Amino acid sequence: MIDLHSHILPNIDDGAADESETLALLRLAAADGIRQMVATPHINPGYFDNNKLTINTALASARALIHQHQIPLQLAAAAEVRLTEQLIPAIEQQQMPFLGLWQSQRVLLLELPHSHVPAGTDKLLKWLGRQQIIAMIAHPERNRDIQTNPALLQSLKNAGCLFQLTASSLLGDLGDRHQQCAEFLVRQRIYQVMATDCHNLQRRPPKLRLARQTLAQLTDDDYAEALVCGHPAQITATLDFGGEL
């Protein structure tokens, strides 16, 4: 399996606190059957001021752990980018890392606020489209407005967005509301990717294998396989798992 969304790099956001936690998460991910992983630290100005330099530096230390401890897993990096007014200038200055390509468009892992879908999101998505960028919306099932009114996703879908399901939402580890919304959206087959969004050992460890089984029970095996293998492989085909951002 390929995990497209993780906070596994040490001491760079609210994910792994240090190298020992990174190492433990890498071991868990490999034992869970994850063979390729994309580290996607938060970029959220004023909260997580990451950039290509900070991410590449942390990526190098995580790769050194993989090499030193012979963990059977390849690691690349991109970012989970918060929707803020700084996003457009950062893209214009080529500061934003991408997950890869989907139908020749660059894929940006985009995080909405957890409370609502901001006004003007549709305009931003159209602007991204003109730059040949497609947004993959991170875990829409965790957004309170979408939980209340899942039809809000339709306008994002119409704008061409991709959607990423978080495995722990589907497993119920993040609470009933997240799970119910995830199950509803899974039955609509709205998602293209399922990923761990792993942060730490206690609350959000990487658990993709069990979530894949649950996903297959709710839909079918082909859909589950596409979300953890086929589509992630397609998106990351151009990503260099040995190189930098």
Q: How many whole angstroms separate alpha carbon 211 and alpha carbon 217?
A: 10
Taking CB under 5 A as the criterion, the residue among 3, 13, 141, 197 binding Fe ion is 197
Q: Where are the beta strands (DSSP E) in 85-242?
A: 100-102, 105-111, 133-138, 162-166, 193-195
Q: How far is the CB of 5 from Fe ion (least distance, A)?
A: 6
* Residues contacting Fe ion: total by CB under 5 A: 2
Q: How many whole angstroms separate alpha carbon 199 and alpha carbon 21?
A: 10
Q: Which is nearer to Fe ion, 3 or 80 (CB)?
A: 80
- CA 104 to chain centroid: 19
Q: How far is the CB of 40 from Fe ion (least distance, A)?
A: 6
Contacts 24+ apart (CB under 8 A), 60-63: 61/9, 61/10, 61/19, 61/22, 62/8, 62/9, 62/10, 62/19, 62/22, 62/26
Residue 21 binds Fe ion, judged by CB under 5 A: no
Going residue by residue from 121 to 160, which x/- string records binding to Fe ion, judged by CB under 5 A? Answer: ----------------------------------------
Q: How many whole angstroms separate alpha carbon 222 and alpha carbon 115?
A: 33
Which range in 24-32, 140-148, 191-199, 222-230 contacts Fe ion by CB under 5 A?
191-199
Q: Which is nearer to Fe ion, 45 or 72 (CB)?
A: 45
Which range in 93-101, 154-162, 196-204, 237-245 contacts Fe ion by CB under 5 A?
196-204
Taking CB under 5 A as the criterion, the residue among 13, 21, 32, 80 binding Fe ion is 80
Residues of this chain that bind Fe ion (CB under 5 A) = 80, 197
